[in-house]
């Protein structure tokens, strides 16, 4: 995976997070409030942002197999977790909530791999006092 591709993904996801956040706060505010899904949409947007930042952090690290897998976990996790919540909040198709945890688990794996990358890169880091 090239750094160019990584930056493209980070740029697209970051801009989408801003645009969707604005859309939810302004353009869809009444629709989301009327259906009681404002918090669901906001959760999707918050996690979308958090994990876009995680991708940007991964971009700054030396690339290895583990960091690349972590990158894909974060990307897939954003798509499944935030994506399912965005669609759920707009369509009220409740079955979408059943796939959201799979995205959450993928995000958790991404964080674990990020931690593993730092330990693997510098084994003395854990023992530093």
Q: Could you read off the pLDDT of 25-55 as tens digits, one per residue? A: 888 888 888 888 888 889 999 999 999 999 9
Is 129 among the domain residues?
Answer: no
How many other C-beta atoms can be found within 10 angstroms of the C-beta atom of residue 4?
8
Is 48 among the domain residues?
Answer: yes
Is 88 among the domain residues?
Answer: yes
For 74, the 3-state DSSP assignment is helix
Q: Are 81 and 107 in contact (CB under 8 A)?
A: yes
**Quick one: CA dihedral 89, 91, 92, 93, positive or negative?**
negative
Give the residue-averaged pLDDT of 10-27: 89
Is 89 among the domain residues?
Answer: yes
Confidence band for 120, pLDDT divided at 50, 70 and 90: low
For 61, the 3-state DSSP assignment is coil
pLDDT digits (tens, 9 = 90+) for 48-100: 999 999 999 999 888 889 999 999 999 999 999 999 999 999 888 888 889 99
Is 128 among the domain residues?
Answer: no
Residue 128 is predicted with a pLDDT of: 47
Is 77 among the domain residues?
Answer: yes
Q: Are 106 and 77 in contact (CB under 8 A)?
A: yes
Instruction: Classify residue 117 as exposed, middle or buried by CB count within 10 Å of its CB (0-12, 13-18, 19+).
Output: buried
Residue 129 is predicted with a pLDDT of: 46
Into how many domains does the chain fold?
Answer: 1
Is 125 among the domain residues?
Answer: no
What residue has token string 């995680």? 54
Question: pTM to 2 decimals?
Answer: 0.86
Structural domain harbouring 29: 3-119
Is 28 among the domain residues?
Answer: yes
Residue 122 is predicted with a pLDDT of: 56
**Quick one: CA dihedral 41, 47, 17, 99, positive or negative?**
negative
């Amino acid at each position: 995976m090239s750094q160019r591709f990584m930056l493209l993904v980070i740029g697209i996801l970051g801009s989408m997070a801003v645009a969707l956040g604005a859309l939810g706060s302004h353009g869809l505010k009444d629709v989301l409030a009327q259906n009681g899904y404002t918090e669901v949409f906001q959760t999707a947007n918050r996690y979308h942002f958090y994990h876009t930042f995680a991708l940007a952090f991964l971009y700054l690290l030396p690339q290895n197999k583990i960091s690349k897998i972590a990158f894909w976990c974060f990307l897939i996790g954003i798509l499944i977790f935030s994506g399912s919540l965005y669609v759920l909040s707009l369509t009220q198709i409740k079955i979408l909530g059943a796939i959201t945890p799979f995205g959450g688990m993928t995000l958790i794996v991404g964080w674990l791999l990020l931690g593993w990358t730092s330990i693997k890169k510098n084994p003395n880091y854990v023992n530093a006092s």
